[in-house]
């Protein structure tokens, strides 16, 4: 074998080795962004690697135990006109709530476990659970940063027979360690989805039992009542039919359990004016109706203690609603999403407020809309109540 051939073979082997090393480095870089990477980079585990699955379990445990509590608030859904010429047919208000644990690693990147539920574009509830990783960079000396990364989640939708399917998405953000605003693009539907987060760094204290003097101590009962404003979406294709947003009132009873959990049984009543056209062209047959609804809901929520007398909460449950107009009446069992806050200015006085979203479906209650074409109004109640705790 000539000297030239030796050199050529050596060069090819070196190139192959470099390519293999580059591929290996790329794989390791990807693994580093996963929960397994969180375990492998932990200060108390230098070089002590297990299998990818074992490190994923360990990394997930680390994020869940050491991460800050995270309240997630869906904010806006954008349906771009280049793919949605009749964008007003779709829901743009993804009312709902979520909860997560967020760990800022030694490089300043975010690792987040989350579960969230919100109103999708078709006025149905959509749950998502998953993990996200975001690399962050400071914005000069403002105390803010911007970031980019990915979401690896699993969701299920009513328009896909509720079959679970993976949802890998890009994500970008701007914010600080406490308040942040995120956006993602969903290529399957060509939709932009935005959400906000509030992080409470209480990993060292959230496992401690609440003192008996706490206004949210285990076994306390809170009775309350108040008023609200009910948002009612038209929930149909572009039309002149309208539902007027109007006031509501509610009463409820809450039971605190353990350090973080609360159970609410609530009754809400609202009245809304409806204008509807009975002809297809929406030019004749205008009628006005009065829609009266009442809702009973039972929800369980997780509370995040921001201060001794102030907490945030998010949860879900089951509701039963009745609706009545001059045309007819109907009832509905449905999911309920809730998020809000509770403040105790005095030991036995609490103020609570929040957002309650129902997914009721009413049929035969609106004139000119019989049969299967019911009212999907997605009633969302913004409320404020005060009561007595004992």
Q: What is the pLDDT along the chain (390 residues), one digit of tens a residue?
A: 454 445 454 454 444 444 454 666 778 788 899 999 888 877 555 555 678 899 999 999 999 999 999 999 999 999 888 888 777 678 889 999 999 999 999 889 999 999 999 999 888 999 999 999 999 999 999 999 999 999 999 999 988 889 999 999 999 999 999 999 999 999 888 899 999 999 999 998 898 888 888 999 999 999 999 999 999 876 555 455 678 889 999 999 999 999 999 999 999 999 988 877 666 555 566 778 888 999 999 999 999 999 999 999 999 999 999 999 888 899 999 999 999 999 999 999 999 999 999 999 888 887 766 555 567 778 899 999 999 999
Please tell me the CATH code under which domain 221-389 is placed: 2.40.160.20
Torsion angle defined by CA atoms of residues 362, 366, 369 and 373, in that order, rounded to the nearest 10 degrees? -10
Residue 289: name the closest of 382, 365, 237 by CA: 365
Q: Is the pTM of this model over 0.85?
A: yes
Tokens 């019911």 belong to 374
User: Which of the residues are catalytic?
Assistant: 79, 120-121
Matching CATH number, 67-200, of 1.10.287.130, 2.40.160.20, 3.20.20.100, 3.90.700.10:
2.40.160.20
- Domains 67-200 and 221-389 in one fold: yes
For residues 294-306, one letter each, b for 16 or more C-beta atoms within 10 angstroms of the residue's C-beta and e for the rest, the string is: bbebebebbbbbb
Tell me the C-alpha distance between 29 and 42, whole Å.
16
Tokens 């009832």 belong to 331
**Annotated domain spans of the chain:** 67-200, 221-389
């Amino acid at each position: 074998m000539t000297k030239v051939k030796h050199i050529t073979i050596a060069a090819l082997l070196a190139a192959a080795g470099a390519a293999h090393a580059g591929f290996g480095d790329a794989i390791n870089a990807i693994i580093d962004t996963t929960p397994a990477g969180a375990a492998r980079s932990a200060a108390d585990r230098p070089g002590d690697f297990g299998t990818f699955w074992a490190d994923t379990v360990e990394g997930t445990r680390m994020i869940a135990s050491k991460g800050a509590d995270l309240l997630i608030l869906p904010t806006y859904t954008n349906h771009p006109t280049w793919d949605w010429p009749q964008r007003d047919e779709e829901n743009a208000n993804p009312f709902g709530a979520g909860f997560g644990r967020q760990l800022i690693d030694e490089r300043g990147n975010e690792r987040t476990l989350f579960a969230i539920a919100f109103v999708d574009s078709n006025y149905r509830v959509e749950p998502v659970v998953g993990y996200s990783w975001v690399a962050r960079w400071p914005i000069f000396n403002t105390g803010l940063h911007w970031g980019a990364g990915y979401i690896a989640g699993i969701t299920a939708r009513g328009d896909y027979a509720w079959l679970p399917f993976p949802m890998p998405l890009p994500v970008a953000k701007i914010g600080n360690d406490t308040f942040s605003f995120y956006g993602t693009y969903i290529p399957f539907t060509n939709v932009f989805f935005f959400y906000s987060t509030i992080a409470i760094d209480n990993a060292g204290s959230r496992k401690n039992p609440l003192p008996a003097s706490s206004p949210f101590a285990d076994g306390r009962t809170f009775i309350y009542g108040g008023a609200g404003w009910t948002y009612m979406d038209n929930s149909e294709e572009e039309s002149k039919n309208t539902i007027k947003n109007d006031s509501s009132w509610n009463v409820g009873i809450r039971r605190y359990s353990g350090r973080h959990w609360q159970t609410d049984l609530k009754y809400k009543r609202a009245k809304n004016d409806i204008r509807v056209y009975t002809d297809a062209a929406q030019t004749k047959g205008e009628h006005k109706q009065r829609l009266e609804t009442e809702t009973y809901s039972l929800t369980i929520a997780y509370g995040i203690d921001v201060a001794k007398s102030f907490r945030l909460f998010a949860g879900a449950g089951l509701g039963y609603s009745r609706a009545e107009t001059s045309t007819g009446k109907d009832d509905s069992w449905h999911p309920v999403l809730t998020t809000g806050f509770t403040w105790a200015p005095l030991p036995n006085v609490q103020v609570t407020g929040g957002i309650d979203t129902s997914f009721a479906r009413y049929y035969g209650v609106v004139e000119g809309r019989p049969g299967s074409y019911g009212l999907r109004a997605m009633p969302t109640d913004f409320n404020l109540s005060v009561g007595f705790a004992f």
